[in-house]
Structure 1
Amino acid sequence: MTGRRLSLLLFAALAACGRSPEAPPQHREARPAAAVSLPPVDVAPEIAAFYAARGNRPLWVTSAGVRPGADRAAALLAHAADHGLDGARYGAAEVAAALAGARSGDPAALARAELLLSRGFTMFVRDLRTPRVNPMLQAEEGLAPRAPAPRALLEMLAAAPSLGEGVAAATRMNPLYGALQRGYARWRTAPHPAQEQARALLNLDRARAIPADAPRYVIVDLASARLWTVENGRVGGPMRVVVGKPGMKTPLMASRLTYAVLNPYWNMPPDLARERARRVLKQGSGFLAAGGFQVLSDWGETARPVPLGAVNWRAAAAGAEALRIRQLPGASNVMGRIKFMMPNRLGIYLHDFPDKSLFTRDDRRLSSGCVRLADAAALARWLFRGAPPRPEGSTPEQRVDLPEAVPVYLTYVTALPGEKGLDLRPDPYGLDATRIALSDRKRSRSG
């Protein structure tokens, strides 16, 4: 349906409301004396389908004028820059002018305001709810944020208890984004260097990668090495964690925690196994036995222990022979007493850790990629809703499924709310600098 055709249909519907003898007095008083000629508004087919399905009845206006919820939506477009978005993209000024003209009650002006606001607001919600570039590895379907399609969004607004409540629900975001956005709205009122502005926008974009409507999830911030739990908008934490060292960075990732493992083994990464083999050549294998380590014949499920004296340590140290070293469960096990598993191809998970002194450090980029927890027991209580599992004896690798899978988002936050709105923090993995340099190169090539 063309924009002119839809505008005329809305015009007719609004004019009919104005002529209706059953219309309330306030509608009759607002009836326009004459229509003005206004240009049509081109809208997406989904928006046209929304109006066709409701007999071309308007959403944002009535024959008497503009509904309060429309003003709220228009204000969001006018202040899109407070979200790091461009209000011109949504026709913010055009919407404001159209709404001002519509207050006369002229059906043509009302129809134009109606369509401009539907077009602009659906575009705004789409950009608000989805990042420009999602930096997270998506381990499973359904973890990335999705903005509602234009028709679905308009239908949700029409079904809301009030239009204002619908607008609020459509633009509600996760707590991390909310805190950053409020800070950014204050911070942007002062001048800042281009690189600082780019970093602030990067942080808003990363926060958009966490869905707005997830009821229960875990956030791990790799930049500050902290963890939060979120349940129905309530934030718990933070908990200190240890993340990947600079050469073995923990990836930005979205997955689901699905089960816990009690009394876990620790399978030593191959690079560490080679380092241990070199150490054995210098001082013998006694430290391995004392630490509860064993060498296994292979990486299969039926692997058998190999006597330490039968291992070709020289070949293993040189990397000429694969070496699997496993640590048995116990107080000194690197996994601690429990680990929390989430499907992903990189083998990343969250786990307990016996040496609590590491969590007192400011720089906690110390692991081989997995996330070590300062208080794994507290996370277990939250994940298992107050009834954390207990191991049945000393049997290794006891799997316990969570009551329900819980999304976990490993993100990277280098801007925090502060006195001036935002405080830009260190960029420990260099992800801000890398992304900004990439954007600069793209602009220079296109310019």
Structure 2
Amino acid sequence: MSATLAVPSPALAKKKAPPPPPPAPVYVPSTPIDRFYSARKDAMLWMGSREAQVALVELLRDSPIDGFTRGPQLATEIEAKIAAAQGGDAAAAKVADRAMSQALVDYVQSLYQPIAGMEYGDNWVRPRAPTGESILALAARAPVLADHVKTVWNINPIYAQLRQAALAEAKLANGGQSSLLATNLSRARFKSPSDRYVVVDIVSQRLWMYQAGQPVGSMKVVVGKNEIDKMTGKNLQTPMIASVMYYTVHNPYWHVPDHLVKNIAKGVVSFGVNAIKGRYEVVSAWANDAVVLDPNTVDWKAAAAGQIFPKLRQRPSGDNSMGKMKFPFVNSEGIFLHDTEHKEYFAKSDRSLSNGCVRLEQAARLGEWLNQGKLVAPAGGTEAAVPFPQGVPVYITYLTARPEDGKIAYAKDIYGWDRAPRQVAAAAAATTSSTQ
């Protein structure tokens, strides 16, 4: 059998066409700066306004007072980039414009860093820096960019006045009080998510209610002692806290602190459990569903010796240490604002007298402002929570320099936090007693 040689057909003999070229890569902006300029088709933001350039450089030169230590170096680099673009070099102009945008983003975001030593009890008030795109979009929409840059640091009225004073002091030959003012600026660097908020200053022992950027009311408060509780080893200083108040507790129980339980226990040892019946209750836990226990089950001698600490709460009454109402907010130390039966404390110049919580001179007045209307206590005289129309942020801070009647008032460093503000404040926040 002879083999047959296969001969390709003319169609198959033709050369195959090459595959089509791959599609060109699509450029996707990867950084906030890239996305901002891509959206505006690379239109310049800064190079058309010498006033805006000068305002930004000045802002960066001053920014160490805000804790932004890279500012002066960035200012020098930006000035060099602007100079390189003066000859009409389009590429150099693009580099300079983007460098200025990046510097603005970095500075603004630095204003939203957490305050050293402050506990953030509620996520709503936890600092969240705006995105780079939103910072630049706001700048691009400003009627006058230079004016916007000159006020971008104004995050709250306390901060604004302290900052202006600090920069003025920094121009003095010896720097004046700029260092102390910068320390206080770091404790006032907050941006409330609401136009209604409360500020408590531990040093001046006062509370302010703010609305639409202005203080609309103030009152005296009592704050924590500058002491360590010998019984528990806890710090009785009031810590710095940012949180949110959502409701009033009318006719509150008072949870007796451990160091006072010992004194009450001594009375029980001497006079029997009748000494506390009708006034105090022994409970299973600090909770709304706590179980009331039989006081006869407690070893009161051990409690009087400080060997055990039964949980005692004082029942709602006219002489309850919480007064008629309290305003809780989430924090790890059990701190809150509350009324008090000891109105005589508000006649004192030094009101660092509590075991950590903040006692109010006019609790009902604050409650009506928080409630945006009259407070009505539920009938029956038992503990009850009544919610506000909306949550109100509260900032408990520590200002040895603060705005007052258009000037800066300086005050005694009652807790010694100015000497080592970061370490001392952080330690206080970690160890403060959770008592009244």
**2:310 matched to 1:323?**
yes
Work out which of the residue numbers 338, 341, 364 in structure 2 matches 1:354. 341
TM-score (norm 2): 0.77
Measured in 2, the distance between the counterparts of 1:422 and 1:284 equals 56
Work out which of the residue numbers 253, 257, 261 in structure 1 matches 2:245. 257
Query: What SS does structure 1 have at the residue aligned with 2:124?
Result: coil
Give the partner amino acid of 2:93: L
Conservation of the 8 A alpha-carbon contact between 1:261 and 1:338: yes
Work out which of the residue numbers 142, 145, 153 in structure 2 matches 1:163. 145
Work out which of the residue numbers 211, 234, 237 in structure 1 matches 2:217. 237
Query: What SS does structure 2 have at the residue aligned with 1:366?
Result: strand
TM-score (norm 1): 0.76
Give the partner amino acid of 1:221: D
User: What are structure 2's unaligned runs of at least 5 residues?
Assistant: 1-29, 229-235, 426-436
**Counterpart position of 1:18:** none
Conservation of the 8 A alpha-carbon contact between 2:250 and 2:325: yes
**Counterpart position of 2:181:** 200
Counterpart mapping for 1:221-300 below 5 A: 221-246=201-226, 247=228, 248-281=236-269, 288=276, 293-296=279-282, 298-299=284-285
Aligned-pair CA distance for 1:356: 1.0
**Counterpart position of 2:329:** 342
Conservation of the 8 A alpha-carbon contact between 1:102 and 1:110: yes
Q: Deviations over 1:188-238 (max 9, x none)?
A: 2225589x6544322111111x11654221111112211111111011333
Q: Deviations over 1:393-422 (max 9, x none)?
A: 233111101111111111111123489975
Aligned-pair CA distance for 1:169: 6.2
In terms of fraction of residues, the more helix-rich structure is 1
Moved more, 421-430 or 404-413: 421-430
Measured in 2, the distance between the counterparts of 1:137 and 1:107 equals 48
**2:120 matched to 1:120?**
no
Aligned-pair CA distance for 1:179: 1.6
Aligned-pair CA distance for 1:89: 4.4
Aligned-pair CA distance for 1:434: 3.0
Aligned-pair CA distance for 1:276: 1.6
- 1:420 and 1:158, CA in 2 relative to 1: closer, same or farther beyond 3 A? closer
Conservation of the 8 A alpha-carbon contact between 2:167 and 2:178: no
Aligned positions, number: 387
Give the partner amino acid of 2:322: M
Work out which of the residue numbers 346, 359, 375 in structure 2 matches 1:372. 359
Conservation of the 8 A alpha-carbon contact between 2:163 and 2:181: no
Counterpart mapping for 1:174-185 below 5 A: 174-185=156-167
Measured in 2, the distance between the counterparts of 1:393 and 1:382 equals 21
Aligned-pair CA distance for 1:175: 1.2
Conservation of the 8 A alpha-carbon contact between 1:415 and 1:423: yes
Aligned-pair CA distance for 1:424: 4.3
- 1:327 and 1:398, CA in 2 relative to 1: closer, same or farther beyond 3 A? same
Q: Deviations over 1:106-135 (max 9, x none)?
A: 54553343123212222222223435x532
**2:92 matched to 1:92?**
no
**Counterpart position of 1:220:** 200
Query: What SS does structure 2 have at the residue aligned with 1:399?
Result: strand
Aligned-pair CA distance for 1:97: 5.2
Report which of the two structures shows the higher radius of gyration computed on alpha carbons.
Answer: 2
- 1:421 and 1:127, CA in 2 relative to 1: closer, same or farther beyond 3 A? farther
Conservation of the 8 A alpha-carbon contact between 2:61 and 2:72: no
Aligned-pair CA distance for 1:378: 1.4
Give the partner amino acid of 2:301: R
- 1:432 and 1:279, CA in 2 relative to 1: closer, same or farther beyond 3 A? farther
Q: Deviations over 1:287-329 (max 9, x none)?
A: 756xx6223353373534647x886532321234543333222
Q: Deviations over 1:71-120 (max 9, x none)?
A: 43333223335546446545213434554675676545533431232122
Measured in 2, the distance between the counterparts of 1:427 and 1:75 equals 32
Give the partner amino acid of 1:225: Q
Counterpart mapping for 1:391-410 below 5 A: 391-410=377-396
Query: What SS does structure 2 have at the residue aligned with 1:251?
Result: coil
Query: What SS does structure 1 have at the residue aligned with 2:419?
Result: helix
Moved over 6 A (4+): 283-287, 418-421, 436-439
Measured in 1, the distance between the counterparts of 2:214 and 2:420 equals 33
**Counterpart position of 1:143:** 125
User: What are structure 1's unaligned runs of at least 5 residues?
Assistant: 1-43, 440-447
What is the percent sequence identity of the aligned residues? 34
Give the partner amino acid of 2:397: T
Measured in 2, the distance between the counterparts of 1:398 and 1:130 equals 37
**Counterpart position of 1:313:** 300
* RMSD over aligned Cα atoms: 3.3
- 1:438 and 1:197, CA in 2 relative to 1: closer, same or farther beyond 3 A? farther
Measured in 2, the distance between the counterparts of 1:271 and 1:438 equals 23
Aligned-pair CA distance for 1:391: 1.4
- 1:438 and 1:275, CA in 2 relative to 1: closer, same or farther beyond 3 A? closer
